[in-house]
Chains A and B, each alone.
Chain A
Amino acid sequence: MAIKKILILLPVIIFAVLLQSFYWVPTYDEQVKGNPHRLEEFISASTGDAKILNPILHADASSGSITDQVFDGLIDRDEDLRFRGRLAESWEIYEEAYFYVNPEAAAAGRNTSRPEIIKDFILKQQKSNKSDTLLGRTLNNINKIEIIPAVNGETEIQAAGPDTNKDGFPDPVNIKVKYKAPPQLKITLKEVDQGFFDVMESVLGKGYFKSFPSGDLIEILTPGHDDMKADIAGEVLPATEHNPVIVFHLRKGVKFHDGQEFDSGDVGFTYEAIMNPRNLSPRVSDYEPVKRFEPVDKYTVKVVYKRLYSPAFGTWGMGILPEHLLNSEALNKEAKSKGEDPAKFTLRDSDFNRRPVGTGPFVFREWKSDQYIVLDRNEEYWEGAPNYKSYTFRIVPDPLTQEMEFYGGAIDSYGAEPHQVKRLKSDPKYQNFSGLSFGYTYIGYNMRRELFKDRRVRKALGMAVDTDKIIRYVMYNEAERITGPFVKQTDYYDKSIEPLPYDPDGALKLLNDAGWKKNSEGWLEKDGKRFAFTLITNSGNDLRKSILTIAQDSWKKIGIDVKTDLVEWSVFIGKHVNTANFDALILGWSMGIDPDLYQIWHSSQTNENQLNFVGFKNKEADDLIVKIRQEYDYDRQVQYCHQLHRIISDEQPYTFLYVGKWTAVLDKKIVILERTPAGEEKIKKITPTKTGSYTFYFNKWIKLAGNPRFDAE
């Protein structure tokens, strides 16, 4: 019967064709044996594909790890997380401070509006005072004083208007202002000094800057905004202004992968590309404090900032784009060749984002969506070519599949989870690493609520939870205690601060002191009201869910009635976190190295949609937060951070729980290979740096054919 035969034969033939292919496919062993180049290829696996290979546009980790290999920034961080030069060989930071001559104040006892007199007066003071006092140091920090003549003019500024848009943010309004600016003194300082004007006040007379009548010197032309006059005046004619300046000296002779030489034009182009609103760069806010960008010459650039903002320095780690491939001329040409409207064609649409060209240690070769991205080493890399000939980024969405490929030798590294690393810990074929992540998990208390206003209560809640047990049983010891808001492996973190002890009895005592007494049913009570609240977190995170249960149980034991709730992520953020509609929550922060905590801890950031959703307000902390972001001196910054760390740890707005660890496995045959100038080769074991990065020397890695033997060091 024909039908039956077809129905059976067809699949049999298909099976035969499918299965015979087995004999043509190389086994893993053959792949390695028959392919000596495999040792010179590094293949890493990722669960997600990259999105856009452009350092100024990407916002995902996968794209980031590729662009880091293809592009170089002006600076990056060294083993100790301090800054070091990359495309910039060196840099200087100094300050230009401005103030208006105050026509009404009596400067040094004389009522003068003539800037020359004030200038001479300051210079004379500088000459006569060489002491090592605050005043002496401040005066000696002055490099140069210049006079900017008086000027009248008109300007337009943007301010937050009275109306709000549908997202709850104020609609901006444009206001026209006419001003009469008095002469101004520009003082160049050798070092940035955030306290400069405080000291100058003692030289020029008390209240010299505060009494500057900026309000009388402006006239608002757009009607209806007179109520905002003081704010507008402060913006158009600020009495004093700090303008920190960074001068980068660029490395000479560095070439892009296409052979074009890198120079200051590329740095300027990258900055402008970020600021160009059409490109929709997610890094705009990083560069918003820049007042102006000046290419001084081919190998020098100068960046002047509007205000003191030290985190801005770190943003120059951004990969530098090649101007000659992406300027408007090049984009126009590309748009035309693709038949698109040049007026609508932006950097985002360019094919560059799928085949990038940078100055980094690896050169882009090929990208197959959702399969792999291949990079070749840059033979002319300024720091010396990497040992690996190629770097491949394979996309394998499933963690178990990744593990199988790793066993088979088809990938060298993957995002191994702790339990996967555990399986290989005792296997002599592999080496494994672990280190602290940049982030922590915490329980946050809504300090707007009466219940949590008392510091003793927050502290008691923290003491009642056994965090060490959480680390042992929930995190399988892949975590460490943390006591404050800084990255634990940096100097900003004060290691002398002790974590809260686990002490339920002590907690009960603290609560008693705060007025909470146990009632007949065993619940804590104050003024006839039971101590009860709801602890929430987002669903889909098993770790947080476990902590939720543990915390609830621990608190119940000392007589607190806790309800818990798991909420879907977008609802959790939209309805609870952003609107500060919660009692207590479990959440985590992932952090950068920079110690700027303004958005998370400053009291001005406690409104809706802002990140200080626990409502932490502390005057002292506010001062320190501002000081930290205005300080350019590392040691002083560290000192302020330690002070802030102690305040936050004393106040306990969060119960700081733990910082997790990352884990990684590599074949033991992968080692660090260094060549001495004489051409001698020396191998070293891969060891994580002090700050826990094992890939820091990646460019020197190589895979050996056999197991390595290390010389005793």
Chain B
Amino acid sequence: MLSFTIKSFFQKLLTLFFISIISFLVVYLAPGKPSQIDPLNPKFTPDDLIRFQKEFNLDKPLHIQYYLYYKNLFTGQLKSWKDNQPVIGKIHERFLNSLWLFVVGTVITWCLSFPVGISAAIKRGSVFDRSTAFLSYVMISVPGFFFAYILIIFVVKTFDIPVIGMQTFGMSGADAFYRVMDRIWHLVLPSVLGALGGIALLSRYVRAQMLEVIHQDYIRTAKAKGLSGDVVYYKHGFRNALLPFVTMFGMILPGLIGGSVITESIFAWPGMGRMGYEAILARDYPIILTLNFMVAVLVLIGTFISDLLYMVVDPRIRL
């Protein structure tokens, strides 16, 4: 176990190194140049362009740029080209904003998907099964921003209540209690929207897994022993159906960054996804690269956790 952990750690480190090179190249070789200079603005001269490129090290060979970039990242000196703010500070602030949305959305998704999926599997072909299937496909196939708009218009027109942003604008003078409640209210729409999409997808997987398990011999045995339905499905069946979801659980971590670009934009939520998206539009390489790097780290951590969980869930697996 320990030797696996160590070996895996070094493997992941090596992978991370290659990812860092590739993500660096992808960003730098993509068309469009970073610059605060619009090539079609008559006010700017080529000299201005050269000055900016020098300042941002863009005139140096690629490998030097690569070195300088990661050196600055690890020493905490990396600054956004957009506003000269330290990248780490910016990301930290956004991370805390996104975290709430992510946690609430994920908890709801991962809790509700299992009962829904399992019930659908048990009562295969019933009205419940068919209606959840229908709703799931609606949620999966209709783009999220559409629901977001409908929900916003519905809530604003019916309840006359603000839903945009992280808090009601101009509430800063109110009591702490009201401010907290206000914040919670603003979480409702975006997190529920995110969770609905997640449940739609995940409950389908749960149902499929469960269907496979239900017909196994040990389920019949358990039933024959006279155990109640819930114990049979949630104790004996659930454990065995859980295996693929351990892998998926590891993969939700990167969703923290890229999972909610559209929701964050529509709800004016100052989160990480939106920052990344705007950085790409502005060709703000330090932000893009740092986010890329963080996603890579999160993916690797996620798979690492999955590997460990595997051993816990299924003792037959000896890595």
Chain A residues packing against B (C-beta within 8 Å): 1, 3-4, 6-8, 10-11, 14-15, 17-19, 21-22, 24-29, 31, 35, 38, 41, 43, 48-49, 51-52, 59, 165, 167, 169, 277, 280, 282-286, 348-349, 353-354, 368-372, 392, 394-398, 400-401, 404-405, 407-408, 410, 568-571, 573-574, 577-578, 589, 592, 599-600, 609, 611
CA distance A522 to B295 in the complex (A): 60
24 sampled A-B residue pairs with Cβ under 8 A: A1-B230, A3-B238, A10-B107, A18-B104, A22-B188, A25-B181, A25-B185, A27-B159, A52-B82, A52-B83, A167-B49, A282-B43, A286-B43, A348-B84, A368-B270, A369-B270, A394-B165, A398-B266, A400-B152, A401-B164, A404-B164, A407-B156, A410-B164, A568-B31
Which residues of A lie under 8 Å from residue B166 when comparing CB positions? 371
Nearest-neighbour CB distance to chain B for A364, whole angstroms, equals 15
A367 to B131, CA, bound (A): 48
| Pairs of residues from A and B, 3 with the lowest C-beta to C-beta distance, nearest first | A24-B181, A370-B270, A1-B230
Name the distance in Å between B316's Cβ and chain A's nearest Cβ.
22
Q: Which of B11-19, B32-40, B246-254, B301-309 contacts A (4 or more CB under 8 A)?
A: B32-40
Q: Does B48 contact A (CB under 8 A)?
A: yes
Which chain B residues lie closer than 8 Å to A7 at the CB level?
A: 111-112, 114-115
| Bound Cα distance A41, B36 (Å) | 32
Q: Which residues of B contact A28 (CB under 8 A)?
A: 160-162
Q: Which residues of A contact B112 (CB under 8 A)?
A: 7-8, 11
List, in ascending order, chain B residues with CB within 8 A of A284's CB. Answer: 47-48, 51
Contacting pair B268 A18 (CB below 8 A): no
Min CB distance A629 to B, Å, is 12
> Could you say which of B51, B170, B185 contacts A31, with CB atoms under 8 Å apart?
B170
In the complex, the answer to whether B161 meets A27 with C-beta atoms within 8 Å is yes
Q: Is the CB of A1 within 8 A of B162?
A: no
- B162/A408 in contact, CB under 8 A: yes
* Minimum Cβ distance to chain A for residue B223 (Å): 15
Which chain B residues numbered 108 to 149 have a C-beta less than 8 Å away from chain A?
Answer: 108, 111-112, 114-115, 149
Given contact pairs A4-B230, A282-B48, A398 touches B84 in the complex (Cβ within 8 A): no
Select from chain B the residue with minimum beta-carbon distance to A403: B153
Contact B42 A611 (CB under 8 A): yes
Q: Which residue of the partner chain, among A11, A25, A27, contacts B107 with CB atoms under 8 Å? A: A11
Cβ contacts B183-194/A at 8 Å (1 or 0 each): 011011001100
Bound-complex Cα distance A41 to B170 (A): 10
The residues of A that contact B267 with a CB separation of less than 8 Å are 401
Report how far A604 CA is from B283 CA in the complex, Å: 32
With A4-B115, A404-B164 known as contacts, the answer to whether A285 contacts B44 (CB < 8 A) is yes
B145-182: CB near A (< 8 Å → 1, else 0) gives 00001001100100111101110111100000110011
Contact B152 A285 (CB under 8 A): no
Of B50, B79, B265, B266, which one neighbours A169 at CB under 8 angstroms?
Answer: B50
Please state if A18 and B188 are interface contacts (CB–CB under 8 Å).
yes
B149 shortest CB reach to chain A, Å? 6
Instruction: Please indicate the chain B residues that have their CB under 8 angstroms from the CB of A568 in the complex.
Output: 31
**B207 sits at the interface (CB 8 A):** no
Contact B268 A396 (CB under 8 A): yes
Residue in contact with B156 in the complex, picked from A10, A392, A408, CB distance below 8 Å: A408
The docked-state distance in angstroms from the alpha carbon of A22 to that of B170 is 17
Q: Is the CB of B84 within 8 A of A52?
A: yes
Contact A401 B107 (CB under 8 A): no
A1/B235 in contact, CB under 8 A: yes
A-contacting residues, B30-75, CB 8 Å: 31-33, 36-40, 42-52, 55
Interface string of B227-239 (1 = CB under 8 A from A): 0101100110010
Among A18, A31, A569, chain B packs the most CB atoms within 10 A around the CB of A18
Residue of A nearest to B104 (CB): A14
Asked if B90 CB lies within 8 Å of chain A CBs, one says yes
B40 and A611 form a contact (CB under 8 A):
yes
Say whether B93 faces chain A, with CB atoms less than 8 Å apart. Answer: yes
Task: With A8-B112, A589-B40 given, name 14 new contacts (CB 8 A).
Answer: A3-B234, A3-B238, A7-B111, A7-B115, A18-B187, A21-B184, A25-B168, A26-B161, A26-B171, A31-B168, A167-B49, A285-B47, A396-B165, A404-B156
Hey, which chain A residues are within 8 Å of B177, CB to CB? 24
Interchain CB contact under 8 A, B169 and A394: yes
A14 to B245, CA, bound (A): 23
Contacts of B289 in A (CB 8 A): none
A3 in contact with B44 (CB, 8 Å) = no
Q: Given A22-B159, A22-B185, A43-B169, A397–B265 Cβ distance below 8 Å?
A: yes
Chain B hits for A8, CB < 8 A: 111-112, 115
Q: Which residues of B contact A27 (CB under 8 A)?
A: 159-161
B170 touches A1 (CB 8 A): no
Of A38, A354, A371, A592, which is within 8 A of B165 by CB?
A371
Is A35 within 8 A of B170, CB to CB?
A: yes
Tell me whether B46 and A609 are in contact (CB under 8 A).
yes
Do B266 and A282 have beta carbons less than 8 Å apart? no
Which residues on the B side are within 8 Å of A349 (C-beta)? 79, 84
Question: With A22-B185, A31-B170 in contact, do A280 and B46 touch (Cβ < 8 Å)?
Answer: no
* Contact present for B230 and A25 (CB under 8 Å): no
* Distance, CA A547 to CA B170, complexed state (A): 45
| A4 proximity list for chain B (CB < 8 A) | 115, 230, 234
For the complex formed, measure the closest distance between the CB of B93 and the CB atoms of chain A, giving whole angstroms: 7
Q: Is B274 an interface residue, CB under 8 A from the partner? A: yes
Known: A8-B115, A353-B84. A405 touches B31 (CB 8 A): no
Residue contact A397 to B161, C-beta cutoff 8 Å? no
Residues of A within 8 A of B46 (CB): 167, 169, 609
Query: How far apart are A301's CB and chain B's nearest CB, in angstroms?
Result: 23
A3 adjacent to B235 (CB under 8 Å): yes
Cβ contacts under 8 Å, A10 to chain B = 107, 111
* Given contacts A397-B265, A611-B42, A24 and B50 within 8 Å (CB-CB): no
The yes or no answer to B87 lying at the interface (CB within 8 A) is no
Residues of chain A contacted by B156 (CB below 8 angstroms): 404, 407-408
Flag whether B298 is at the interface (Cβ < 8 A). no
B162–A397 touching, CB < 8 Å = no
Interface assignment of B287: CB less than 8 Å from any CB of chain A: no
The listed residue (A6, A35, A277, A348) touching B51 by CB distance below 8 A is A277
User: Which residue of A21, A285, A392, A592 contacts B182 across the interface (Cβ within 8 Å)?
Assistant: A21
